[in-house]
Amino acid sequence: MDAFTKHTGKVVPYDMPNVDTDQIIPARFLKKIDRVGFGELLFYELRYEEDGSPKPGFILNQPRYAGGTVLVSGPQFGIGSSREHAPWAIQQYGFRVVIAPSFGDIFRNNCYQNGLLPVMLDAAEVDTIIARAQEIQGYEVTVDLEAQQVTDGHGLAASFDIDPFRKENLVQGLDDIGLTLQNEAAIDAFESANA
């Protein structure tokens, strides 16, 4: 897993509440048995016509948002199915951060597992970012995980909360399993006590 400390990148504002994981990556693409190639499939139904050509109106198809690395969306982003393919698709498209007022629980966990940073900000702050991204061509934000802050060059300074454990793992790019196996003695003890 790549470590995450601080990231500056272009914002893609997808102003929509309740973006569920079926929209992020439709179920029929879950059949792949490898872990790559999901970036092209991100938001497939919304992004492509039936013949596979891009839908011009959709946000990811607008040239001004090309190369975006910070996805910003409405409340309850990532609700629904537990598919980890959702964060994979978002990450493999090129995003490093998703900002929203709230997230689906499983989705948020899945993000942490993959070094994709989910950032929860107040709805008003998210609205500000979305409005600025729509107004200002090439609008960027800086997400500083260590300082737990999102800033832009226009006066925004929004802090966010993150579980210290998740933060530590992200900052160090630590794999959860390795970390858990450091507790193997405790697991053994639990098993013999409950056998």
**Chain residues that interact with other proteins, rule: CB under 8 A:** 16-18, 20, 22-23, 26-28, 30-35, 45, 74-76, 79-85, 87, 102, 104-106, 109-110, 113-114, 163-166, 176-177, 180-181, 183, 186-187, 190-191, 194
> What is the CB neighbour count within 10 angstroms for residue 120?
18
CB–CB of 111/118 below 8 Å?
yes
Bridge partners, residue 10, by sequence: 140
Kindly state the helix (H) or strand (E) to which residue 180 belongs, with its residue range: helix 176-181
Output the smallest distance, CB 23 to other proteins, in A: 6
* C-alpha span between 60 and 55 (Å, rounded): 9
Complex with other proteins: residue 30 or 171, whichever CB lies closer: 30
CB–CB of 4/170 below 8 Å?
yes
Q: What angle do CA 104, 132, 54 make, to 5 degrees?
A: 65
**Phi and psi at residue 103, to the nearest 5°:** -130, 155
